[in-house]
Structure 1
Amino acid sequence: MEMMHKSCEQFLEELASKAAVPGGGGGSALVGAVGTALGNMVGCLTVGKKKYAAVEPDILALNEKAAALRARLEGLVEADAEAFAPLAKAYSIPKEEPARAEIMAAALEKAAAVPLEIMECCCEAIVLLEEYEAKGSVLAVSDAGCGAVFCRAALEGAGLNVSVNTRLMADRARAEELDARVAALLKEYVPRAEAVYAKVCARLGGN
C-alpha cells in the first residue's frame, strides 16, 4: 500500500509530475474511495440518532459494506501502479522479438483488468449511496450527493483507463468484450449516480 501511505501532498505532486505512476487509474480509485468514504460518513452521522432508529440496522449494514469497499479501492490505487510496470517493460521489448506479442497481450490484459475492477467497485458504491441518500440523516444528505458525484467521476475515469489499453490489444474479440463491459457499466450506473445527485439537489432546494 505504498501509494496510500503517501501524504496527500506527495501523492498529488507525483500525480502532477512526469512519473509513470500514479496516473488516471490510480487517481480514479482514490476518488472512488473518497466517494465511498463520504457515504460512510453519512452512515456514521445517522447511527445513534433516535429519529433514525428504524433504519439503524440498514445503516450499520451499509457502513460495513462501505468500509470494505473503500479498502478495496485503496488497494486498487496500488494495484493500478503495479499493473503498469509490466506494460512499460513490454513496450521496451524490440518489435522483432518473437515473444513480444504474447508478453504485450498479457500486460495489456492486466493493465485493463485493474481499472475495470475500479469501475465495478464504483458501481457498488453508487448503489450504497442511493440507500444512504434515502435513509441517512438529512443533515448529511449533501455528503451523499458529493459521494455520488465523486463515484461517477471515478467510474468514468476508470473506464477511460480500460479503453486506453483495449485499443492496443491484438485480440480484437477480447478488446470488444471488455469495451462492451465498460459501456454497460457506464450506461447503467452513470444515470444512477446522476439521480442521487438530482435528489440531493431537490432536497436542498437547488436545481
Structure 2
Amino acid sequence: MELKKMTVEGFVQETSSSSPAPGGGSIAALNAASAAALIEMVAHLTIGKEKYAAVETEMKEVAEKAASLKNQFLALIDEDSNAFNKIMAAFKMPKGSDEEKAVRSKAIQEATKGAALVPFKVGETANELFALADAVITRGNTNAVTDGAV
C-alpha cells in the first residue's frame, strides 16, 4: 500500500491502528513534506507581486527547491514503511538450523540498519528547509509570513 496516496484521514487512522507502520520515520517525512509545501506556497504567493519584484527570482528558486524537497519527503514516507517491512520479513525467516539462524540474524541486522537510515535521511534533508523558510519569512509575502514560519 502506498501511504503517500492515502487520504489524510486514512493515513492518520492507519497510524493510530495496531499496524506498526506507518511509524515515526513516515510521520517525520509527512511533516517535512508539509513544511516544504508551506514554504513553496509562500514563495508562490510572493511571485508576481509588484511589491516583491526585487525578490522574484529568489522566490522562484525557493519554490523550485521546496517542491523538490517536498517530493523527496513524500517518497520517504513509503521508503520508511518499506524499510520497516524488511525488518519484519527478516524476523519471519526460518531459524531451524544454525545456518538459518545466522542468515536470519544477518538479515535482521542489515534490515535494521537500512530502516535507521530513512529517518536519518529525513532529518538530514529537513535541514535544507531552514534556509528556505528564512527566505520566505524575511523576504517573502508578509501576508503569509506565519505560513512560512510554520
Tell me what 1:178 maps to. none
Aligned pair count reads 146
**Larger-Rg structure:** 2
Output one character per residue of 1:37-75: Cα deviation in whole Å (capped at 9) or x when no partner. Answer: 111111011011111100100000010000000000000
Tell me what 1:83 maps to. 83
Supply the AA of the counterpart residue of 1:104: I
Output one character per residue of 1:98-141: Cα deviation in whole Å (capped at 9) or x when no partner. Answer: 22332122101110111111112211112211111111011110
Supply the AA of the counterpart residue of 2:3: M
Tell me what 1:105 maps to. 109
1:90 offset after TM fit, Å? 2.2
Tell me what 1:141 maps to. 145
Supply the AA of the counterpart residue of 1:127: A
Moved more, 82-91 or 40-49: 82-91
Identity of aligned pairs, percent?
Answer: 34
Paired with 1:4 and 1:86, the residues of 2 have a C-alpha distance of 19
Supply the AA of the counterpart residue of 1:71: N
Paired with 2:106 and 2:91, the residues of 1 have a C-alpha distance of 12
Tell me what 1:12 maps to. 12
Output one character per residue of 1:4-47: Cα deviation in whole Å (capped at 9) or x when no partner. Answer: 11111111110000112111110110011001111111101101
Tell me what 1:116 maps to. 120
Paired with 1:6 and 1:58, the residues of 2 have a C-alpha distance of 33
User: What is the TM-score when the length of structure 2 is the normalising length?
Assistant: 0.91
Supply the AA of the counterpart residue of 1:136: G
Paired with 1:102 and 1:57, the residues of 2 have a C-alpha distance of 51
1:89 offset after TM fit, Å? 2.0
User: What is the TM-score when the length of structure 1 is the normalising length?
Assistant: 0.67
Paired with 2:27 and 2:39, the residues of 1 have a C-alpha distance of 19
Supply the AA of the counterpart residue of 1:73: F
Supply the AA of the counterpart residue of 1:19: S
**Structure 1: segments with no counterpart, 5+ residues:** 147-207
Supply the AA of the counterpart residue of 2:102: P
Paired with 2:88 and 2:68, the residues of 1 have a C-alpha distance of 31
**What RMSD, in angstroms, separates the aligned Cα atoms of the two structures?**
1.5
Supply the AA of the counterpart residue of 2:49: K
Paired with 1:90 and 1:45, the residues of 2 have a C-alpha distance of 48
Paired with 1:91 and 1:2, the residues of 2 have a C-alpha distance of 23
Paired with 2:22 and 2:7, the residues of 1 have a C-alpha distance of 13
Tell me what 2:3 maps to. 3
* Aligned counterparts, 1:1-207, within 5 A: 2-93=2-93, 94=95, 97-146=101-150
